A and B are shown apart, each in its own frame.
Chain A
Amino acid sequence: SAVISQKPSRDICQRGTSLTIQCQVDSQVTMMFWYRQQPGQSLTLIATANQGSEATYESGFVIDKFPISRPNLTFSTLTVSNMSPEDSSIYLCSVATRATDTQYFGPGTRLTVL
């Protein structure tokens, strides 16, 4: 199994500012993902973080709003830019070694935008 940590665990931010969330995995993983869970909703995939290249974004998510970095196989960051109250959500990092493997999730970052 993979152990995933995220920083910060929670934050309260002002409208118009940006927040960078860090995800650290205890082992090298092939696949790394970022999800959003809005209040009372299920999980929505934001993007797949690709090592050394641009992330692959899902429909409805763009790089200018959610820039992602993945400098190596164990670390990634997600930035939520120019935040508005609609960005208030739990943001989750997730990893898998192969498509057929269990996908593991981090503890999440609870973001509140005022």
Chain B
Amino acid sequence: KQEVTQIPAALSVPEGENLVLNCSFTDSAIYNLQWFRQDPGKGLTSLLLIQSSQREQTSGRLNASLDKSSGRSTLYIAASQPGDSATYLCAVRAFVGPSQGGSEKLVFGKGMKLTVNP
């Protein structure tokens, strides 16, 4: 069964810190991994997509890495700002077995709530 875990569930830091957000998944047979940001009461904004054949992707102050064999991904946020405050979700696209519907789908973690204090 594919499960995605994000620890810790919440993090509060002062402005300017470099941050590492962790994501782990139980089955390495994934198509890709995607990081999202969600502001309170809003939809999801896609931040980065890493294909299973890739090791990392970068966008501005964000860098995401993928170690498929160990079932881990990290999202690195450089020089954090109060505007980075949001919930960050990790999701893997994988084929899941009958217990999870028997089809290819995105499996989400529960998210990590980040607060960056000015």
- Chain A residues within 8 Å of B, Cβ to Cβ: 1, 4, 6, 41-43, 45, 48, 56, 58-59, 90, 92, 94, 99-108, 110
Contact = CB atoms under 8 A, between A and B. Distances in A.
Contacts of A4: 43
Contact of B108 (A43, A48, A59): A43
Contacts of A99: 31, 93, 104
Contacts of B108: 42-43
A43 B6 CA distance: 14
B41 A90 contact: yes
A105 B106 CA distance: 12
B111 A42 contact: yes
Interface stretch (B21-29, B44-52, B61-69): B44-52
Contact of B106 (A6, A45, A59): A45
Given A99-B31, A99-B104, A102-B49, A42 B44 contact: no
A102 B108 CA distance: 14
Q: What secondary structure prevails in chain B residues at the interface with A?
A: strand
Contacts of A101: 49
A41 B51 contact: no
Contacts of A105: 36, 43-46
B44 to A, nearest CB: 4
Contacts of B42: 107-108
Which are the 5 A-B pairs with shortest beta-carbon distances? A105-B44, A107-B43, A108-B43, A42-B110, A42-B108
A52 to B, nearest CB: 19
A6 B44 CA distance: 13
A24 B43 CA distance: 14
B89 interface: yes
Contacts of B43: 4, 6, 90, 92, 105-108
Contacts of A1: 46
Given A92-B44, A103-B34, A107-B42, A42 B101 contact: no
